[in-house]
Amino acid sequence: MKSFIIVLFSPLFVYVASQAEPWSKSFDTDLTLTQNSYSDSWTGGEAGNVSWVWNANGLFEKQVSPKFKFRNASKFSFGQTHIQDSETKDWTKPKKSTDLIDIENLGLFTLHTYVDPFVGLRFESQFLDASVPGVNLYLNPKKITESAGVARQFYKKEKDELLSRLGFALRQILTEMVIDTLLEETETETTNDGGLESVTDLNLTLSKTLKFTSKLSLYKALFFSESDELEGTPQADYWKAIDINWENRLAAAVSKYITVSLYMQLLYDKQLDKRGRLKETLSLGITYKLF
C-alpha cells in the first residue's frame, strides 16, 4: 500500500517541483505557554502547572498547467501540561494536551466547468501515542485516505477561498497494538473502509489583523472490512454512521509576532463514542510567519 502510494504520486511531485510557475505559499508557526506557581504560604491546596502548545499551518499551491493545479495543506500541533502535586509540590510527568499531524495533497483538473475533477491523498496521525502506560509509540495510529470526485471553487481572491468537493474515498487505518508491555512488543492491526466523502475548506481574511479558517469533513462509509466480525453485537451498525470533523480557527495579530487565536473542533465518530467530542483552545503566543 505504501509503496503503491509513493510510486503513484512521486512522478507528480517531481513534475510539480520542476515547473517555473511560482508557488503560492503560506506557512506560520506559533508557540504558546501558560504558567501558574504558588508559594508555600498558600494553604488552599493550590498546585502549579505549566502548559505549552506548538502549532504549524501551511498551504502551498501551484498552477502546474492551465488544466492542472496542485495543492498541499498541512497542520501540525503538539502540546503538554506539567502539573505540580498540591501536597508534595513535586512535578508529575508531563501529560499530552494536543497532538495532530494532518497532511493533505490535492490535484485539481481545472477544466473551468461547473465542477472540476480532483484526486486527493491525505495522511493523518499523531506524534506520540502514550495510551499504554510505560510504552511510547510514534506516528500511531496512521490513517491514509485516497479520494477522487468533483470539486467546485465558489470563491477565490488572493489567499481567500471557499472550495468544496464531493467524491468517493478509500481509507486505511494502521494501528500498532501493544501485546507485551515489558518487552514493548507490538503488532499492526489494519482496517479498511470506503464510502462517500465531502470536504469544504474556507479561508477568509476579515481584516489586516484578523483571519478565519474552517474545514468541514463528512464521511459516510459504504463498506467496512470488519463488518462481519461485528454482526450480532450492539455495535454492528456503528460504522455506517456519518463521521464529522469540523475545525475552526480565528486568529488575531496583536503585533508582528504576537497572535491571539481561538480554535474549536467538533468530532463525531460513533465507533469511538456515541457522543460528539468538542475541543476549544484560546491562546496567546509568539507567531512567526515564514511566508
Of 279, 286, 289, the closest CA to residue 100 belongs to: 279
The confidence band for 44, taking pLDDT boundaries of 50, 70 and 90, is low
Q: Write out pLDDT tens, residues 135-189.
A: 889 999 999 999 999 999 999 888 899 999 999 999 999 999 988 877 778 899 9
Share of the chain above pLDDT 70, in %: 90
Question: What pLDDT, on a 0 to 100 scale, did the predictor assign at position 45?
Answer: 65
Q: Which of 217, 174, 216 has the alpha carbon at shortest distance from 195?
A: 217
Residue whose C-alpha is closest to residue 84's, from 97, 74, 94: 94
Average pLDDT over residues 43-57: 82
φ, ψ (nearest 5 deg) of residue 16: -60, -45
Pick the CATH number of 2-38+46-289 from 2.40.230, 3.40.50, 2.60.40, 3.30.70: 2.40.230
- Burial class from Cβ neighbours inside 10 Å (0-12, 13-18, 19+) for residue 197 reads buried
pLDDT confidence of 42, banded at 50, 70, 90?
low
Q: What's the grid cell of residue 112?
A: 473551468
According to the model, what pLDDT value does residue 4 have?
45
CA of residue 175 relative to chain centroid, distance: 17
Q: Cell triple for residue 194?
A: 470506503
pLDDT band at 3 (very low <50, low <70, confident <90, very high): very low
Higher pLDDT, 42 or 217: 217
* pLDDT at residue 37 in the model: 74
Give residues with Cβ within 8 angstroms of 20, minimum separation 6. none
CA 61 to CA 24: how far, in whole Å?
Answer: 5
Bridge partner list, 240: none
Return the pLDDT at 90: 78
pLDDT in tens, 67-102: 999 999 999 999 999 888 777 777 888 889 899 999
Q: Grid cell 517541483 — which residue?
A: 17
Cβ burial of 108 (10 Å; 0-12, 13-18, 19+) is buried
pTM > 0.85: yes or no: yes
DSSP assignment, residue 228?
A: H
Strands 185-205 and 135-138: unpaired
Confidence of residue 14 (pLDDT cuts 50, 70, 90): very low
CB 181 within 8 A of CB 135: yes
